Structure 1
Amino acid sequence: MTTPYTLDNAYWSRGYVDPAFVRLGMTRARETGPTRRVWRGSGPRWDLPEDSHDLDDLLVGAPEVTLAEFLASAETDAILVAHRGKIVYERYFHGMRPHDVHLSASVAKSWTGLLAAMLLDEGVLDADQPLAHYAPELAGTAFGDVTIQHLLHMGTVMDYGGRPFCKPLEAQRYFAAVGIVTRPAGYTGPTSVKEHLATARAVAPPGTEFRYDNGNTEAVAEALRRVTGVSLADLWSERVWSRLGADEDGAYCLDPTGTEIACGRYSATLRDLARTGEMLRRGGAVGDRQIVPERVVADLANVPPGPAQRALPTGAARPIGYHNFWWVPGDGHGTFGARGIHGQRLQVSPGRDLVIAHYGSHLMSPSVPVPPLEAVFAQISDHLAG
C-alpha cells in the first residue's frame, strides 16, 4: 500500500536533512535533468568595479554574531554586496566558485514578472484579460478564468484536485508533476506544467486572498509564450540576459514536455544575479543601453491595493507587499526583491544604492528556523550608508 503523502513524510523529513544534499541539488541542476540554454549574447562582459570592504567582522543579528559567523550558520553558498555600483563584499563557500552556476529557486518568478511588466508596458499583454484569452485550453480552470493582473499578484484562490490547499504539500506535488522529485509509487497525477494547471479549481473569487502558489507564475509564463511566439528561455535572453553583459549562459530546467519551469528552476552565476539587480538599481540601464524601461522599474515597488499589500505579515506595523512577482518591504528606500527557497535572494535598494545577491542551501524544516537574511541585509545597508 502506498504511504499517504502528508507533512510528516514530506521531503524534509525523509532524508532531506543535510545541507550538503540541498547544495548538490542547487548546484547540479544542469547535470541531473533537461535544461534550455539562455544565451548570454555575443557582447562584452559588464565588469563591475571593486571597492573591497572587509565585512566579515561586522556584528549582525540578534543576538549579535559576526557576519562571517552568520553566513556559516545560514549555510550560505555565496554572497555579493554592491554599493554605489561597486562590489564591496564577495564571498564563496563550500567549494562554489565565481563561474559556477546555482539554482535561484523562486527568484526566477521575478524574471517572469519583469518580462510580463515589460510586455504590459508595450501593450502586447493586457492585464485585464483572463489567461484563457491567451491559452484557451485552460478556460474553466482557476488559472484560466482569472486576469493576468490577478495572476501577477498571487490573487488566484484555488485548490488542486479538490484537496484542501496546503502550500508546502502542493509545492511537492507540483515538483512531482514536473519531474523535480521522484513520484510516489502508484502516482497517477499530472506529468507536466500544463496538466498541473488544468487540475486547479477556484474556491473563492480572485483578488480576495493572497495565495502564494507556483501555478500563478506558470500561468503568466504560458501567456508570455503565446503573445511572443518564443520560448521563455529565448524571451529572457532576447530582452535581458543577452544585453546584460553576463558572464555565463543561464539555463531553465524543463518539464517532461520541454516546457520551462518558470516558477523556480533558473540557474546562473552569482555575479550575473548581481548584474541583474544592479541593472534594475540603475533604472533598467547598463551604460547607454536601456534594457528595461525606467518607468517599468520605477513601478516595481508600487504595490496595488488589495491582499498583495499584506502578502507577508511580519508582526510589525509594516507588512511586506508583492507586485509583479517581486517582494516589496516598503522600507522607504524603494527596495524590491526576489526570494527563493533555501536562501536564494536578490535585493535591490535604489535609495541606498545597494544590491545584495545571495545563494544558499539552508534547510527548510519545521525544526530549523529560517535565517533572518533580510534583517541582516538591512544591517549591512545601514553600515554602508553610515
Structure 2
Amino acid sequence: MIRLLLLAFVSTLVLKGVVFAESGPVFSDTGPEAEAYGASRGYPVPPFEYPPGDGQDFMVGTYSHFDKVHPMRTVQKPATPSVLKRTGEEIVPVYQYDGRQKAIGDYLDTHPVTGLLIARGDTILFEHYRYARTDKDRFLSQSMAKTLTGLLLGIAVSEGAIHSIEDMAATYVPELAGTEYGATPLRALLHMSSGVAFREQSYQPDEDIFKLHVALLGNNPVGAIAALRQINTRDAPPNTRFAYASSETEVLGLVVSRAVHMPLADYLATRIWQKLGAESDAAWAIDTTGQEVAYCCFIATLRDWARLGLMLANDGAWNGQQIVPRQWLLDATTVPRDSYLRNTIAQSWGYGYQVWILPGERRMNLLLGIHGQGLFVDPESKLIMVQTAVRKLPVGNPKSPEAMALWYAVVAQYGHR
C-alpha cells in the first residue's frame, strides 16, 4: 500500500542504470561484480540451494527468492500496514575507513549489498536496492532469525507458556530427555553457553553447522529432533563459556513451538508480525517434520525488517502497543562488563538473548547473519540500519568492519531526534 501511494505521487528518472524516485526508494540493476553474480542471466534462482561456498552466480537469486528453493511457512501480514514516513531529502552520511573519508555511495560501490535502509523514529532516511532487487523482494535473514526466536521465547515467558528460563529444555521437548541439550537450562541456550560441543566457525563441510543444515534442509533431511540428538557431548558446564552454536537456537525453537502449541511462524505472526503492521507476508523455512529452522532462513522485505528494528529501538513498543515485554528486551541486550559473555567475537562485544551487543557505553545491539546480513539498533536515538547482502565469504571478509564504521558514523551524524 505504501509503495502504491508513493508511485501515485512521485516522478522518476533513469540514469546510469539507477532509478531515482523523489522521496522514495532508489533502485539499481547493478552492483560490485554484478556479472559474477549472474547479471546477464537475470540473477537466476537455482532449482535447489547451492552448497555453501559455491555458486556465486546464484547468490542474489537465492537470497531474495529463498521460498523457491525450500519449503516455507507463511507469516501472515495484517490487514493494514503501519505508516513509515519518509524524509524529504535523503541523508548522505560520511565515514572514516582505511585511512580516508568515504561517503555511503562508496560503501555501496564496494560491497555486494542487495538492500540498505536507514530509519529513525518512524521515518525512512535512506533506502537503496542493488542487483535489480526491489522493495517487493523478501530478503534472507540467515542468523538474524535467531533474535526472532529469542523474542518469541520472551513473549512465551510473559504469557506463562514457559514457566522460567531456568527450566531445562526437556521440560518442553521430552524427545530430548536423556541428551545433553535436554539437560540444559533455557538461559544457557539463550546465551549460547550450553557447554555442548558444536563447531561453527567457517561453515565448511567438516563443521557441525554444515551437517546440521544438511540434516534439516538437505537432500535427505532427518528433522530437528533426530539431528539434535546426535549432538551430545558436553565439554563445559552450562552458563560458564560462550560458544556460538546455531544448534542452541534450534533447541529454543522447539521449546517455544511445543510450549505455545503452534508453529513458530504462526506464533510470530500473531505476537509480532501483525502487531508491527508489516506490509508484506514473511516466511520461515521448515524442515521435513514441519518445524521451522529456528536459527536461520526467515525472509522479509527490507522495510519490514526496518519495522522490526524500530520496535527493538523502542524497547519492544511499536504501532501503539508493547509488542515484546520491555524488561525482557532490557535483559536481552544488557551484559555485565565482567561477564563471560563479553569479548565474545571481538574486544568488548557482548552476547545477550540471541542478539549481539556492540562495544561502548551506549546500549546498541545487532542482529547478524553470515554473508553480510545485519540489523543495527540504537535505542537511545531510535535509529536503525538494516543491510542485506551477498558476500562471497560467510564470515571473515576483511572489509566487513566497514559496515561498523558506517554505522557508527550514521549514529554520530544522525543519532538525534
Distance 1:356 1:312 in 2: 21
Match of 2:98 among 53, 62, 65: 62
SS of 1:106's equivalent in the other structure is helix
Q: Where does residue 239 of structure 1 map in the other structure?
A: 271
Structure 1: runs of 5 or more not aligned? 1-9, 184-189
SS in 2 for 1:90: strand
In the alignment, structure 1 residue 346 sits paired with structure 2 residue 375 = yes
Equivalences for 1:219-368 in 2 at 5 Å?
Answer: 219-303=251-335, 306-314=339-347, 319-364=348-393, 368=397
Instruction: Answer 1 or 2: higher relative contact order, Cα 8 Å, separation at least 6.
Output: 1
Is the 8 Å Cα contact of residues 312 and 377 (structure 2) preserved in structure 1?
yes
Q: Could you tell me which residue of structure 2 aligns to residue 375 of structure 1?
A: 405
After TM superposition, where is structure 1 displaced by more than 6 Å over at least 4 residues in a row? none
Q: Quick one: distance in 2 between partners of 1:60 and 1:342?
A: 23
Determine the C-alpha separation between the residues in 2 that align with 1:123 and 1:195.
28
Once the 2 structures are TM-superposed, how far is the Cα of residue 256 of structure 1 from its aligned partner?
1.5
- Contact map agreement 2:118 2:386 (CA 8 A) in 1: yes
Query: In 1, Cα distance between the equivalents of 2:314 and 2:260?
Result: 27
Q: Shift of residue 229 of structure 1?
A: 0.5
Q: Which residue of 2 aligns with 1:141?
A: 179
- Map Cα deviations across residues 262-321 of structure 1 (whole Å, 9 max, x no partner): 10110000000000111222232224222222222333321266422232223xxxx111
Aligned partner of 1:22 in structure 2 is 59
The 2-side partners of 1:332 and 1:147 are apart by 29
- For residue 384 of structure 1, what is the aligned residue in structure 2? 414
In structure 2, relative to structure 1, the CA distance for the partners of 1:283 and 1:367 (3 Å cut) is closer
Aligned-partner SS, 2:267: helix
Cα distance in 1 for partners of 2:239, 2:136 equals: 42
Aligned to 2:215: 177
SS of residue in 2 equivalent to 1:158: coil
Tell me if the contact between 2:306 and 2:386 (Cα under 8 Å) persists in the aligned partners. Answer: yes
Could you tell me which residue of structure 2 aligns to residue 205 of structure 1? 237
Q: Distance in 2 between matches of 1:235 and 1:287?
A: 18
CA RMSD of aligned residues (A): 2.2
Partner of 1:47: 83
User: Do the aligned partners of 1:155 and 1:208 also contact (CA within 8 Å) in 2?
Assistant: yes
CA separation in 1, counterparts of 2:200 and 2:326?
Answer: 38
Structure 2: unaligned runs, 5 residues or longer: 1-49
Q: In terms of mean alpha carbon deviation, does 105-114 or 55-64 score higher?
A: 55-64
Partners of 1:52 and 1:89 within 8 A in 2:
no
3-state SS of paired residue (1:171): helix
Inter-partner Cα distance in structure 2 for 1:211 and 1:103: 24
Contact 2:139 2:299 (8 Å CA) reproduced: yes
Q: CA deviation at 1:332?
A: 2.7
Distance 1:289 1:353 in 2: 16
Q: Secondary structure at the match of 2:85?
A: coil
Size of the alignment, in residue pairs?
358
TM-score by length of 1: 0.86
Q: Which residue of 2 aligns with 1:186?
A: none
Residues of 2 paired with 1:94 and 1:79: CA distance? 12
**How many angstroms does 1:330 deviate by?**
4.2
- For 1:22-171, what aligned pairs fall within 5 Å after superposition? 22-42=59-79, 44-56=80-92, 58-64=94-100, 65-125=102-162, 126-159=164-197, 165=199, 167=201, 168=203, 169-171=207-209
CA distance in structure 1 between the partners assigned to 2:140 and 2:109 by the alignment: 19
- For 1:135, the aligned partner's letter is V
Of 194, 198, 212, which residue of structure 1 is paired with 2:225? 194
Fraction of identical pairs, as percent: 27
SS of residue matched to 1:159: coil
Which string of whole-angstrom CA distances, capped at 9 and with x for unpartnered residues, describes residues 316-370 of structure 1? xxx1111110111143332122111111111110112211111111111688425
Contact 2:94 2:406 in 1 (8 A): no
Structure 1 pair 55/21, CA: closer, same or farther in 2 (3 Å)?
Answer: farther
| Counterpart residue identity of residue 228, structure 1 | V
2 CA distance for matches of 1:332 and 1:249?
37
Work out whether residues 118 and 384 of structure 2, in 8 Å CA contact, stay in contact via their aligned partners in 1.
yes
Deviation, 1:124, is: 2.9
* CA distance in structure 2 between the partners assigned to 1:78 and 1:342 by the alignment: 13
Secondary structure at the counterpart of residue 227 of structure 2: helix
